[in-house]
């Protein structure tokens, strides 16, 4: 890809400055930073790498093991950086390669690992390869690195097939010379053709570039989409309706992706310090997800089936059991997640009636949503495996659902179909202080407006306040790190519990999650370690309020 970039700083090993704990990723808690919305160091209203660097002590003290950074590469920002123009350069809005190097080094000094986003399914239409492909016209070797095709119809006026973009509208755009190119997302994001060897060669080089910079791993964007079905067959009207349903589509979750990841794993294993891959793989079942984390492929894959599960004991137990059962044969940890930059925050999802999915446009009952979100977090952190936290969820932030249309930037919003296009609501910059033009995010406002009520949700407002959501997260992560029976492992021992309640044991640890709206009585399993809400104990029993999770230790 573009060779006009600053040379990488000298290679350094993550193993030198981060404690080398074998298999650290199996029970790690990893914090997602969305750089444009985390901290702004220069007052331009946009978060940046220096801002992230300045807040590393906060993340260290929160108790997470690693930080995943969403894209900060050179990009026209048609899709908030997921349209990459140069994979070896930092976009000036975020800083420079020297800033990235300093961030990695400082993170390691604080005992934090750094995971960066990798976007291999598509590039920006401003990428040097794509610009040359357009300029050189049909038959250009560069066009073979993307999916260019002649159109259908008498004069090629129809798209080559009937695929729809995930962002809405056709997945094909016609160029002036008459050919069409494939983009499963925005038109500014043309899909790479992974059948072409140059694509694989280039990405193996990109991996080494960032590994040599010292990163500890990669989150792979659209990991399920790189390989398309041979011949790019039509979906047909019936399958179009199931585009985001439970069926493997010709452009998603093709078996050919696994050969790519086996090659990548061999590269990663050459480096010291246990570097890792985590897949963003939207698959129809957890069993299909398990294919991505076989011993010679990736290390983790987000559990989106869990993310999409309602706050319901029966449904949660089903997905927990299926996940643990699916991961056990491949020896991989479950990877739990409740929120990220693409879905409605769980404090808002759980505030609304069930059945609305992960893209929600209403605030709902915010008090109920926060109560359930806190309980859901303690449940997630009690399960065996790794867990991901999205920035701001430790503050109990809801989605901002009433953003004015004129400030929205999600490309799916402007395409009118496909995804709802309301991802901006979970991307509003987080509040650090009670006062200031952007509540401490920066000195010059923020690229998306923050609601006034966020002053009391800020880090400053919650720090040291017993019962605050921030202190709940800090306590939970401290307990989890201190107890060997939390995190690691691949099974839970389910205990008898009232209807609507989950109860399980893991060694000397017991977790009870009441997903009902009513109080229930359970045994007092031992000494209470932590609760998401107030409970009462008497005569060997515990009264657990509705939408509350409790942690006990059975040790003395």
Residues identified as active-site = 221, 270
Cα distance between residue 67 and residue 33, in whole Å: 7
Q: How many helices (H) and strands (E) does the chain have?
A: 16, 21
Q: Is residue 33 within a helix (H) or strand (E), and if so which, with residue range? A: strand 29-33
The radius of gyration computed from the CA coordinates of the chain, to the nearest angstrom, equals 23
Question: 3-state SS of 316-360?
Answer: HHHHHHHHHHHHHHHCCCCEEECCCCCCCCHHHHCCCCCCCCCCC
Q: Helix, strand, or coil here: 29?
A: strand
Q: Helix, strand, or coil here: 496?
A: coil
Task: Tell whether the torsion through CA atoms of 456, 434, 395 and 404 is positive or negative.
Answer: positive
Q: Distances in Å between the alpha carbon of 126 and those of 66, 131, 189, 401, 542?
A: 32, 6, 9, 32, 61
Cα distance between residue 345 and residue 400, in whole Å: 9
Token pair listed for 54: 């300045």
Cα distance between residue 193 and residue 144, in whole Å: 7
Task: Give 293's DSSP letter.
Answer: G
Q: Helix, strand, or coil here: 219?
A: strand
User: Which residue blocks in 486-528 are alpha helix, DSSP H?
Assistant: none
Place of tokens 């494939």: 182
Place of tokens 């600053």: 6
Asked if residue 414 lies in contact with residue 421, where contact means CB atoms within 8 angstroms, the answer is yes
Task: Give 534's DSSP letter.
Answer: -
Token pair listed for 470: 């921030």
Cα distance between residue 457 and residue 440, in whole Å: 12
363 exposed, middle or buried (CB, 10 Å; 0-12, 13-18, 19+)? Answer: middle
Q: Which of 67, 56, 479, 314 is nearest to 471 (CA)?
A: 479
Q: Helix, strand, or coil here: 290?
A: helix
Cα distance between residue 95 and residue 41, in whole Å: 10
Phi, psi of 85 (to 5 degrees): -95, -30
């Amino acid at each position: 890809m573009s060779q006009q970039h600053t040379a990488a700083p000298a290679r350094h090993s993550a193993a030198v400055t981060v404690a080398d704990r074998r298999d650290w990723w199996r029970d790690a808690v990893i914090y997602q930073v969305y750089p444009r919305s985390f901290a702004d160091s220069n007052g331009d209203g946009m978060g940046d790498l220096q801002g992230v660097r300045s807040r590393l002590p906060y993340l260290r003290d929160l108790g997470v093991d690693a930080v995943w950074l969403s894209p900060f590469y050179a990009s026209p920002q048609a899709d908030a950086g997921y349209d990459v123009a140069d994979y070896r350069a930092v976009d000036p809005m975020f800083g420079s390669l020297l800033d990235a190097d300093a961030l990695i080094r400082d993170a390691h000094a604080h005992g934090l690992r750094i995971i960066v986003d990798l976007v291999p399914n598509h590039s920006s239409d401003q990428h040097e390869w794509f610009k040359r492909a357009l300029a050189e016209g049909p038959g250009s070797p560069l066009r073979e690195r993307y999916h260019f095709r002649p159109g259908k119809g008498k004069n090629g006026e129809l798209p080559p097939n009937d695929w729809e973009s995930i962002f809405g509208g056709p997945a094909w755009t016609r160029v002036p010379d008459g050919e069409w190119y494939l983009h499963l997302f925005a038109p500014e994001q043309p899909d790479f053709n992974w059948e072409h060897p140059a694509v694989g060669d280039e990405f193996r080089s990109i991996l080494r570039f960032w590994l040599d910079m010292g990163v500890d791993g990669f989150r792979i964007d659209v990991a399920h989409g790189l390989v398309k079905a041979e011949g790019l067959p039509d979906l047909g009207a019936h399958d179009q309706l199931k585009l985001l349903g439970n069926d493997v589509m010709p452009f998603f979750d093709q078996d050919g992706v696994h050969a790519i990841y086996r090659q990548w794993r061999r590269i990663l294993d050459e480096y010291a310090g246990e570097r890792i891959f985590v897949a963003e793989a939207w698959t129809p079942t957890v069993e299909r997800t398990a294919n991505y984390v076989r011993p010679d492929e990736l290390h983790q894959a987000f559990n989106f089936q869990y993310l999409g599960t309602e706050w319901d004991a029966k449904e949660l137990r089903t997905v927990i059991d299926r996940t643990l059962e699916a991961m056990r044969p491949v020896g991989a940890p479950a990877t739990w997640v409740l929120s990220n930059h693409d879905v409605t925050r769980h404090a808002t999802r759980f505030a609304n009636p069930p059945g609305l999915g992960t893209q929600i446009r209403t605030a709902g009952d915010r008090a109920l949503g926060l109560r359930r979100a806190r309980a859901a977090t303690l449940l997630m952190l009690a399960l065996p495996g790794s867990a991901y936290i999205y920035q701001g969820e430790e503050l109990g932030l809801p989605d901002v659902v009433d953003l004015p249309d004129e400030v929205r930037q999600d490309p799916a919003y402007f395409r009118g179909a496909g995804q709802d296009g309301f991802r901006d609501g979970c991307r509003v910059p987080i509040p650090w202080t009670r006062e200031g033009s952007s509540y401490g995010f920066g000195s010059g406002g923020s690229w998306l407006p923050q609601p006034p009520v966020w002053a009391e949700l800020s880090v400053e407002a919650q720090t040291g306040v017993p019962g605050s959501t921030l202190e709940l997260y800090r306590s939970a992560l401290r307990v989890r790190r201190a107890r060997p029976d939390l995190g690691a492992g691949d099974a839970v021992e389910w205990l008898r519990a009232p209807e609507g309640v989950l109860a399980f044991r893991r060694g000397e640890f017991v977790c009870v999650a009441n997903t009902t709206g009513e109080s229930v009585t359970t045994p007092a399993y031992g000494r209470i370690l932590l609760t998401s809400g107030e409970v009462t104990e008497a005569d060997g029993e515990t009264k657990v309020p509705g939408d509350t999770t409790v942690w006990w230790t059975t040790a003395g």
